[in-house]
Structure 1
Amino acid sequence: MSKQELEVLGQDGDGCCPTLLSAPMDEDHAVELAKVFKALGDPVRIRLLSMIASRDGGEICVCDLTPAFDLSQPTISHHLKLLRQAGLIESERRGTWVYYRLLPATTDRLAALLTRPGAPAAP
């Protein structure tokens, strides 16, 4: 994952994660954050992310993802590519198969960005 993808979620070098309500976001961060939300703006990609995140062992083979959808393998690969480009997942090729896993640090920063300062954690 590139440094730019990490910056999408607004974390600076000091480990501070400003929220939407704590400081105005500059245009560059807003444009980059919009890419993450765009990646999450499709039901297929949300389902893929959920399947990856909820998998025992923390990773899943693309061969286990494709049968869950009435879509072609290239279409599933395209959706996974968009999630990967948004910095939400990472992949590793093992032989002929590709395995995907969630990047929890990225989703945690996204959650922190959307949390109101001082708000109690959701149940």
Structure 2
Amino acid sequence: MSNLELRELPVVEPEIVPCCPPVTSAALSEADSVKMAAMFKALADPVRLRLFSRVASHEGGEACVCDIQDVGVSQPTVSHHLKKLREAGLLTSERRGTWVYYRVDPEVLATMAGLLAAGR
């Protein structure tokens, strides 16, 4: 038996820092436009958009590839599209046994919304 006392650590919410300023705040730099274009290009494909939506809306905030692969294309094509979403920074993934689980990066939706926010 130990004399150590278990304490609950405080929950620290990550600070959401957008990759780029809102498009209405000033003219975009070349670097910011490249970052933004990569995110929006990844979502410009209907299959990728559906996969992203399935992951984002899945119970618990993450989805096994086995739960989201029925989008009307072959499994290798699903893997290709998920890779593109990961490369654009829209999804993170974790291998558990033979399956890969995907999660929307917590900052992504807020960042994308911030990019398109109207300036006041």
What's the TM-score once normalised by structure 2's chain length? 0.81
CA distance in 2: counterparts of 1:32 and 1:88, whole angstroms: 11
Stretches of 4+ moved more than 3 A in 1? none
CA distance in 1: counterparts of 2:72 and 2:111, whole angstroms: 32
CA distance in 2: counterparts of 1:20 and 1:54, whole angstroms: 27
CA distance in 2: counterparts of 1:83 and 1:8, whole angstroms: 18
Match of 2:109 in 1: 107
CA distance in 1: counterparts of 2:30 and 2:48, whole angstroms: 26
Matched residue SS, 1:76: helix
What is the one-letter code of the residue matched to 1:78?
Answer: H
Cα offset for 1:70?
A: 2.1
CA distance in 2: counterparts of 1:74 and 1:25, whole angstroms: 36
Match of 1:97 in 2: 99
Query: What is the identity percentage for the equivalent residue pairs of Structure 1 and Structure 2?
Result: 53
Matched residue SS, 1:23: coil
Which of these two proteins has the greater Rg computed from alpha carbons?
2
Match of 1:40 in 2: 43
Query: Gaps spanning 5+ residues in structure 2: where?
Result: 1-16
Report if aligned partners of 2:18, 2:115 keep a CA contact under 8 Å in 1.
Answer: no
Describe the shift of the 1:44–1:72 C-alpha distance in structure 2 as closer, same or farther (beyond 3 A).
same
Residues 54-93 of structure 1: matches in 2 within 5 Å?
54-66=57-69, 68-93=70-95
- Report how many residues are paired: 105
Report if aligned partners of 1:62, 1:98 keep a CA contact under 8 Å in 2.
Answer: yes
Query: Gaps spanning 5+ residues in structure 1: where?
Result: 1-6, 11-17, 119-123
Matched residue SS, 2:24: coil
